[in-house]
Amino acid sequence: MLNIVKKTALDVGCEFYENEPMSNRTSFKTGGSAEMLVCPGNINALIAVLKVCRENNIRTFIIGNGSNILVSDNGLSGVVIMLSSNFSEIKLLDGETVYCQSGVSMTKLCRFALEHSLSGLEFAFGIPGTAGGAAYMNAGAYGGEMKDVLVKCEHIDENFNLSSFSGDDLKLGYRKSAYTDKDFIITSLTLKLKKSDYDCVKAKMDENMAKRRDKQPLEYPSAGSTFKRPEGYFAGALIQECGLKGFCIGGAQVSEKHAGFVINKNNACTDDILKLIKHIQDTVYKTKGVLLETEVKFFE
């Protein structure tokens, strides 16, 4: 069945990989293989792949840089569509408005803002992943979030039409957006930034990056904060108070540096990570009465 996707990918000039280990494509460095992974280079190629999958009842999974997903050890049956380096146009629309395709990395987007002395994305410097993933998740840090700067997203809807959401229709909330419960694919973002001073923007970005290096276990594979912040609490503090810092299941560990991070300490598989997540949730619920919800998305 996947031969038909392969033919389409070749026809439209898409890079593709068969039996691609998802451990190579996720920041957790775990997960089995995807039957096929395609990296469309433009919207027409993306739509052609989506259509052929739909016509042949083949499941599709959309990923950016895989920095907030956990993939089953059994792999993914179907086609993973990866929108990253091939989908990476970025430009200034006017003095303070930036347009980028959804595959642009957040690092590149932040550096672009800095080069143009634009303020607004300082909070995001150091968040791994693509602009599309950040819009989907309403990524945030250090008091800022995508909601503060994102004014419009273009997407492909369930009928393969190119359309967009702007303003309130983006429904940006804590680690969620209008896209969270939809099968739409974000193709571009428009961000409204503010003219500022190069040195001020750079100083804030450097400060945020230094905080990350200081507090986060960046030397180990992870997906960042494993859990959402429960109202009125901090996930990391709750986990630490339950004595779980450093606790391991298989190769997965509650980071000793930051208890809010589950890390792949020693060749973990996804199952180790899932078991550890469940153990943390059960322990925190029993001890503190707080239900921890995962921020990380599970793909199976």
Closest separation between CB of residue 294 and ligand FAD, Å?
12
Interactions with ligand FAD, residue window 9-68 (CB under 6 A):
27, 62-68
How far apart are alpha carbons 108 and 65 in whole angstroms? Answer: 13
Instruction: Find, among 287, 291, 263, 266, the residue nearest to 276 by Cα.
Output: 263
CB of 84 to ligand FAD, least distance (A): 7
| Contact call for residue 2 and ligand FAD (CB under 6 A) | no
How many angstroms separate the CA atoms of 57 and 131, rounded? 29
Question: How many chain residues are in contact with ligand FAD, going by CB under 6 A?
Answer: 32
Q: Which of residues 185-204 bind ligand FAD (CB under 6 A)?
A: 185-186
Part of the chain binding ligand FAD (CB under 6 A), chosen from 52-60, 134-142, 196-204, 274-282: 134-142
State yes or no: residue 140 binds ligand FAD (CB under 6 A).
yes
Residue written as token pair 């959401």: 165
231 catalytic residue (yes or no): no
Query: Which of residues 119 and 216 has its CB atom nearest to ligand FAD in the complex?
Result: 216
Q: Is 213 a catalytic residue?
A: no
Q: What count of Cα atoms within 13 Å lies in the side-chain half-sphere of residue 31? A: 31
Task: Give 25's contacts (C-beta < 8 A, 6+ positions apart).
Answer: 31, 34, 37, 63, 66, 80, 82
Which of 38, 50, 76, 83 lies at the binding interface for ligand FAD (CB under 6 A)?
83
Burial of 232 by CB count in 10 Å (0-12 exposed, 13-18 middle, 19+ buried)? exposed
Q: Are strands 33-39 and 76-82 parallel, antiparallel or unpaired?
A: parallel
Q: Could you say whether residue 78 binds ligand FAD (CB under 6 A)?
A: no
Active site residue 225: yes
Residues in Cβ contact with 244 at an 8 Å cutoff, skipping those fewer than 6 apart: 254, 259, 279, 280, 283
Stretch that binds ligand FAD, among 29-37, 40-48, 114-122, 127-135 (CB under 6 A): 127-135
- In the set 23, 119, 225, 255, the catalytic residue is 225
Q: Does 90 bind ligand FAD (CB under 6 A)?
A: no
Tell the residue number behind the tokens 């078991």, with chain if given. Answer: 275
Nearest distance in Å: CB 136, ligand FAD: 4
Task: Measure the CA–CA gap between 147 and 140, rounded to whole angstroms.
Answer: 9
User: CB of 138 within 8 A of CB of 174?
Assistant: yes
Choosing from 175, 188, 196, 222, the catalytic residue is 175
Footprint of ligand FAD (CB under 6 A): 27, 62-69, 83, 102, 127-130, 132-134, 136-137, 139-141, 179, 185-186, 216, 218, 222-224, 297
Q: Supply the residues annotated as catalytic.
A: 175, 225, 295
